């Protein structure tokens, strides 16, 4: 039987903290998940190894046992011992003995989205050392943290959830948009509501991984990222934009055009408006996600533009103005 180096599989040191192990697991799971590599058998095998390594190193009890086994194994290797002659039976978990807990958080937790592939598919090494449990070789999920509706005889009542990153523009976040996805061999259209922001999640019920016979599929979660806009700065539901204002309009007052996501609005500014001064356009900001009929405000910041290429006459008039001011 082959010894599995779980630390090497996750790319962490033996002294890695639980936080470092979890971080490494999440990164590798994203990269090698079967949905990301549908036609890559090597990536799928790699994903199984990554999941298996996390089941062991992510549990303090199993990790302690694994470290003790590893020390004995390395000592055996240094003496030139063959793998088939190593006393694996000393470390094997007897049926009905130590149970393996596949840990899950909430349905939105990344361990569920990427790490719940632990039902079957484990190596002989894992099964012999950690797989002894009632009735056979499968690890039983620890579902204590799940609501009653998702427990049934110690097993999850649905397939795996999937998380998919989606990048949209600020205009799409303002108006709402749609995206097409290919999942489980079918094409679906997802509606992204008005007012979403970076980090928002849109849930598509039943569009995740199949759950098997008699078990409903998991959900698909769209994690939104709103791209930076060249003109508008977003702060919650409010928007900020710079408005160029001619010097003479700023001095004497008048009208300027302030851009919004629904077109330019005429803004009347008073005489002697200062550079950087802001004016609020009520209700011209972003829709509020939970209340899309309500909108934040737009703050227009004045950017006073100085004239260029002055004529001789203009320079003389400015000197006269300067003299008057002095």
Residue 38 pLDDT > 80? no
Q: Which run of H or E residues covers position 67?
A: helix 60-78
**What mean pLDDT is predicted for residues 311-322?**
94
DSSP annotation of 229: P
pLDDT band, very low/low/confident/very high, at 43 (cuts 50, 70, 90): confident
Q: What is the pLDDT of residue 301?
A: 97
CATH fold group of domain 233-325: HSP40/DNAj peptide-binding domain (2.60.260)
Of the options 1.20.1440.230, 2.40.50.100, 1.10.287.110, 3.40.47.10, the CATH number for the domain spanning 6-156 = 1.10.287.110
Phi and psi for 302 in degrees, rounded to 5?
A: -80, 130
212: confidence class by pLDDT, cuts 50, 70, 90: low
Weakest mean pLDDT among 31-40, 45-54, 172-181, 281-290 = 31-40
How far is 38 from 41, CA to CA, in rounded Å? 8
Of 7-16, 39-48, 85-94, the one with minimum mean pLDDT is 85-94
Say whether pLDDT at 91 is over 80: no
What is the Cβ-side half-sphere exposure of residue 181, based on CA atoms within 13 angstroms? Answer: 22
Stronger pLDDT, 96 or 201, i.e. the higher one: 201
Confidence of residue 186 (pLDDT cuts 50, 70, 90): confident
pLDDT at 1: 66
Mean pLDDT of 290-316: 94
287 membership: H or E segment, kind and range: strand 287-288
Q: What is the mean pLDDT of residues 180-184?
A: 78
DSSP run (H or E) holding 127: helix 124-130
Q: Which of 182, 179, 201, 200 is nearest to 190 (CA)?
A: 179
Q: Tokens 């599995």 map to which residue?
A: 4
Least confident segment among 117-121, 214-218, 228-232, 300-304:
117-121
Choose between 30 and 10: higher pLDDT: 10
Q: Do domains 6-156 and 162-226 have the same CATH topology?
A: no
**In the predicted model, is pLDDT for residue 96 greater than 90?**
no
Nearest CA to 162 among 119, 115, 96?
A: 115
Order of strands across the sheet that contains 201-204: 162-168, 220-226, 201-204
Using one digit for the tens of pLDDT, what is the confidence trace for 132-166?
A: 432 333 333 333 334 444 444 444 467 888 888 99
Weakest-pLDDT range from 55-69, 244-258, 273-287, 293-307 = 55-69
Measured between alpha carbons, how far is 103 from 59 in angstroms, rounded to an integer? Answer: 9
Mean pLDDT over all residues of the chain? 79
Assigned fold of 162-226: HSP40/DNAj peptide-binding domain (2.60.260)
Most confidently predicted of 69-83, 198-212, 240-254: 240-254
Instruction: Report residue 84's pLDDT band, with 50, 70 and 90 as the boundaries.
Output: low
pLDDT score for 82: 66
Residue 34 burial class via C-beta count within 10 angstroms: exposed 0-12, middle 13-18, buried 19 and up: middle
Q: What percent of the chain is predicted at pLDDT more than 70?
A: 76
Q: Show me where the domains of the chain are located.
A: 6-156, 162-226, 233-325
For residue 242, count other CB atoms closer than 10 A to its CB.
15
Give the pLDDT confidence score for residue 285 in this predicted structure.
96
User: 109 pLDDT exceeds 60?
Assistant: no
DSSP 195: T
Task: Compute the CA torsion angle 123, 8, 72, 74 (nearest 10 deg).
Answer: 120
Residue 92: the pLDDT is 64
Q: How distant, in Å, are the alpha carbons of 7, 61, 114, 123 from that of 98?
A: 22, 10, 25, 17
State the pLDDT at residue 326.
Answer: 86
Q: Are 158 and 218 a contacting pair, CB within 8 Å?
A: yes
pLDDT attached to residue 219: 87
Report the pLDDT averaged over residues 99-126: 43
pLDDT, average across residues 5-26:
92
Residue 281 has pLDDT above 80, yes or no: yes
Own/partner contacts of 86-89, CB < 8 Å, gap of 24 or more, are 88/1, 88/128, 88/129
pTM (two decimals): 0.52
Q: Alpha-carbon distance 145 to 41, whole Å?
A: 33
């Amino acid at each position: 039987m082959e010894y599995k180096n779980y630390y090497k599989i996750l790319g962490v040191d033996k002294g890695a903290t639980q936080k470092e192990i979890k971080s490494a697991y999440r990164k590798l799971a994203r990269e090698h998940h079967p949905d990301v590599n549908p036609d890559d058998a090597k990536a799928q095998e790699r994903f199984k190894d990554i999941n298996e390594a996390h089941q062991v190193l992510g549990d303090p009890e199993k990790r302690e046992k694994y470290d003790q086994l590893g020390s004995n194994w390395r000592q055996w290797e240094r003496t030139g011992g063959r793998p088939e002659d190593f006393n694996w039976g000393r470390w094997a978990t007897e049926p009905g003995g130590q149970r393996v807990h596949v840990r899950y958080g909430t349905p939105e937790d990344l361990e569920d989205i990427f790490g719940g592939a632990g039902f079957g598919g484990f190596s002989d090494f894992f099964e012999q050392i950690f797989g002894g449990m009632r009735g056979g070789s499968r690890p039983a999920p620890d579902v204590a943290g799940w609501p009653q509706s998702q427990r049934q005889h110690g097993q999850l009542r649905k397939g795996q959830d999937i998380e998919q990153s989606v990048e949209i523009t600020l205009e799409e976040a303002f108006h709402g948009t749609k995206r097409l996805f290919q999942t489980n061999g079918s094409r679906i259209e997802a509606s992204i509501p008005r007012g979403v922001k970076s980090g928002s999640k849109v849930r598509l019920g039943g569009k995740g991984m199949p759950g098997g016979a008699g078990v409903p599929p998991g959900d698909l979660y769209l994690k939104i990222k709103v791209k930076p806009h060249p003109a508008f700065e977003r702060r919650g539901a409010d928007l900020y934009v710079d408005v160029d204002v001619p010097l003479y309009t700023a001095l004497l007052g008048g009208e300027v055009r302030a851009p919004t996501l629904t077109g330019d609005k005429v803004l009347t500014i008073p005489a002697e408006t200062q550079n950087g001064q802001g004016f609020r356009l009520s209700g011209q900001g972003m829709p509020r996600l939970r209340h899309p009929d309500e909108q934040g405000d737009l703050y227009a910041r004045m950017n006073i533009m100085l004239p260029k290429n002055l004529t001789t006459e203009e320079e003389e008039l400015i000197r006269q103005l300067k003299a008057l001011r002095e």
